[in-house]
Amino acid sequence: MDFSMHQRIRAGDPAAFRQLFQEHSGAVLQHAARVSGDRAGAEDVMAVVFLEAWRLREKLRDEGSTPRPWLMGITVNVLRNRARAARRHAAALARMPPPEPSPDFADELVGRLADHEQLLAARTALERLRRGEREVFALCVWAGLSYPEAAAALGIPVGTVRSRLSRARTRLRALAEKELRRAARDHPEPLRAVGQVQGGRMVPARSDKEWTG
């Protein structure tokens, strides 16, 4: 196995690190956007990931044919830290006095896009999974990592990846369908949008490989 790329990254070769960014920044950005549900925030996550990768470059080991699992492991840690910071911020806001009431126009947008409802249901269901299940699902299904790559990214055995992913798929399907039924009860007659999926069923999540295959 040729680990010259790994060696150049560890040595701080700017050209090698630029190549690392060019080859993997898209995957990091897409993964962060899917996990966080925030495209603008995902760009911040991507920037932090590559700053951390530069800082931790000497820890890149000569394993596998690509540094992608190592980079995605850094992405998982950055997302964890970001989620903890968001929870602390929310807790701090909860301790503050409630703001003065102001006009709320959000109800005008309810029911406009059926695909939005489906994505929201999937997002809500995903948040109800255990963190380990959620991370494995996001890496394997959304980011398209293999079981060994996801195991390397998370620092867990391959068997644990398999079992967590199996549980995540089962629970996510049930939770998403429950959330869609709840949304249908709350908004029984949403306005239809072009491209709406008939029948109220969520389009199942697929990996990038499945979409492009």
Confidence band, pLDDT 50/70/90 cuts, at residue 91? confident
> Does residue 70 have a pLDDT over 80?
yes
- Residue 141 three-state SS: helix
What pLDDT score was predicted for residue 170?
87
Q: Which of 44-48, 102-106, 139-143 has the lowest mean pLDDT?
A: 102-106
Residue 129: closest CA among 157, 165, 156: 165
Q: How confident is the model at residue 49 (pLDDT cuts 50, 70, 90)?
A: very high
Among 29-43, 90-104, 183-197, the range of highest mean pLDDT: 29-43
Instruction: For residue 120, count CB atoms less than 10 angstroms from its CB and return exposed for 0-12, middle for 13-18, buried for 19 or more.
Output: middle
Q: What is the mean pLDDT of residues 40-63?
A: 92
Q: Which of 23-37, 110-124, 148-162, 170-184 is predicted least confidently?
A: 110-124
> 0.85 cut: is pTM over it?
no
Rounded-to-integer distance, Cα 71 and Cα 50, Å:
8
Residues 80, 43: Cα–Cα separation, whole Å: 16
Give pLDDT, residue 105.
Answer: 38
Tell me if 154 sits within 8 A of 140, measured CB to CB. Answer: no
C-alpha to C-alpha distance for 177 and 212, rounded to whole angstroms: 26
Can you read off the two tokens belonging to residue 189?
A: 């007659």
Out of 11-20, 109-118, 142-151, which region has the weakest mean confidence (pLDDT)?
109-118
Question: Reduced to 3 states, what is the DSSP secondary structure of residue 27?
Answer: helix
Task: Using pLDDT thresholds of 50, 70 and 90, give the confidence band for residue 188.
Answer: low
What is the pLDDT averaged over residues 6-18?
A: 92
Spatial separation of the C-alpha atoms in residues 59 and 23, rounded to whole Å: 20
Token readout for 44 is 């911040």
